[in-house]
C-alpha cells in the first residue's frame, strides 16, 4: 500500500537518484556521444543532449501539454474558454470503467511522429524525453492522492515479440520509480491480437478490444487504487477494457494516465 507517510522517504530517494544522475550525466552523455551524433534528431540543425532525448529546445516546444478546459471524465481537451461542465461527445455513449483519464500532452502530429519512431523505428534514444514529459505532468497529480499500483496496458505476446518491448511498460517504469508507486505487469494479459485501432470508428474501437484482456491469476485487488497507463489514448476503449478487468478483480478505484491524448 502506498501512503502519504512514505512521500518524504520517496522524495529523499528520488533526490538521491537525481543527484546521482546529475553526477554521472557528463560521463554517460560523453559515452553516448561517441555512439550517437549530438544533433537534434527532429530538425537536424541544433545540438541536443542524450538526456534531452536528442531533441533541441525549439523542437521540445512543439510538444504541447494538455491544459484546461478538458472533459473531467475522459480528459479530452476542448477548444475555447468553457467554464461550465460540458457534455463530452466522447463520453456520451460509451461505458467507461475507469473513474477518469488524464494525459500529459496533446497528440499533435509532431509528438505522434516521435512516438511512432520510438515504437516502430527503434528510436530508443527518445525514451528519456518521453518518460520525462509523462513524469512532469503525471507525478505531481498522482502524489496528491493515494495510488497503490501502476498497470501498463499489456501487448499481445506476438506483438511484443515482434516489437521487442512494450512501450507502455517502458514509459511507466520511470514514473513508478519517481513516484514510488509500484509497477505491476503481472495482473493481466492480452488474449486477443486486436487490429490496430487507428482506422476504426469509436464503436469499432470498443468492439475491437472487448474481452481482449483477462486476469493472469485469481489475485484479488480488493480496496486497491490502480493507475492504468498507455502511451496514446484516443476514445479510452482499450484502457477501459483493462480497467474492467481490474475492477472485476476487486480494485476500488481505477484512473488512467497516458502520454498523449489524441482526438477520436
Ligand atoms: Zn530540433
Ligand atoms: Zn469525455
Structural domains for the chain: 4-9+66-261 (3.40.50.2020)
Using the mean position of ligand 2's atoms as its centre, give its distance from the Cα of residue 70 in Å: 8
Task: Please tell me the predicted confidence (pLDDT) of residue 13.
Answer: 60
Could you tell me the three cell numbers for 59?
A: 523542437
Using the mean position of ligand 1's atoms as its centre, give its distance from the Cα of residue 40 in Å: 5
Task: Please tell me the predicted confidence (pLDDT) of residue 175.
Answer: 98
Ligand number, closest to the Cα atom of 43: 1
Using the mean position of ligand 1's atoms as its centre, give its distance from the Cα of residue 134 in Å: 20
Using the mean position of ligand 2's atoms as its centre, give its distance from the Cα of residue 141 in Å: 19
Using the mean position of ligand 1's atoms as its centre, give its distance from the Cα of residue 110 in Å: 11
Task: Please tell me the predicted confidence (pLDDT) of residue 3.
Answer: 43
Judged by phi (left if over 0) then psi (alpha if -120 to 50, else beta), residue 128 lies in alpha
Task: Please tell me the predicted confidence (pLDDT) of residue 4.
Answer: 41
CA nearest to 58, candidates 69, 47, 67: 47
User: Model pTM?
Assistant: 0.83
Using the mean position of ligand 1's atoms as its centre, give its distance from the Cα of residue 113 in Å: 13
Task: Please tell me the predicted confidence (pLDDT) of residue 179.
Answer: 98
| Positions in the chain whose pLDDT score sits under 50 | 1-6, 24, 26
Q: Is the peptide bond before 69 cis (omega within 30 degrees of 0)?
A: yes
Q: Are strands 253-261 and 188-190 parallel, antiparallel or unpaired?
A: unpaired
HSE (side-chain half, CA atoms, 13 Å) at 111: 25
Amino acid at each position: 500500500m502506498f501512503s502519504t507517510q512514505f512521500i518524504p522517504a520517496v522524495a529523499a530517494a528520488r533526490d538521491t537518484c537525481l543527484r546521482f544522475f546529475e553526477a554521472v550525466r557528463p560521463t554517460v552523455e560523453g559515452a553516448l556521444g561517441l555512439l550517437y551524433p549530438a544533433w537534434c534528431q527532429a530538425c537536424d540543425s541544433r545540438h541536443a543532449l542524450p538526456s534531452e532525448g536528442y531533441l533541441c529546445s525549439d523542437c521540445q516546444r512543439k510538444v504541447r501539454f494538455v491544459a484546461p478546459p478538458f472533459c473531467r471524465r475522459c480528459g479530452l481537451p476542448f477548444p475555447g474558454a468553457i467554464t461550465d461542465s460540458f457534455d463530452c461527445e466522447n463520453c456520451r455513449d460509451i461505458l467507461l470503467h475507469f473513474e477518469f483519464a488524464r494525459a500529459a500532452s496533446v497528440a499533435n502530429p509532431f509528438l505522434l511522429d516521435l512516438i511512432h519512431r520510438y515504437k516502430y523505428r527503434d528510436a530508443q534514444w527518445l525514451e528519456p524525453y518521453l518518460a520525462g514529459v509523462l513524469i512532469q505532468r503525471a507525478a505531481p497529480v498522482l502524489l496528491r492522492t493515494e495510488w497503490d499500483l501502476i498497470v501498463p496496458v499489456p501487448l499481445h505476446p506476438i506483438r511484443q515479440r515482434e516489437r521487442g518491448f512494450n512501450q507502455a511498460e517502458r514509459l511507466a517504469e520511470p514514473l513508478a520509480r519517481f513516484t514510488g508507486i509500484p509497477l505491476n505487469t503481472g495482473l493481466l494479459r492480452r488474449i486477443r491480437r486486436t487490429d490496430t485501432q487507428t482506422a476504426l470508428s469509436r464503436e469499432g474501437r470498443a468492439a475491437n478490444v472487448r474481452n481482449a484482456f483477462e486476469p493472469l491469476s485469481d489475485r484479488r485487488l480488493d480496496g486497491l487504487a490502480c493507475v492504468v497507463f498507455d502511451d496514446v489514448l484516443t476514445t479510452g476503449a482499450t484502457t477501459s477494457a483493462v480497467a474492467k478487468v481490474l475492477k472485476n478483480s476487486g480494485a476500488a478505484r481505477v484512473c488512467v494516465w497516458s502520454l498523449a491524448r489524441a482526438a477520436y
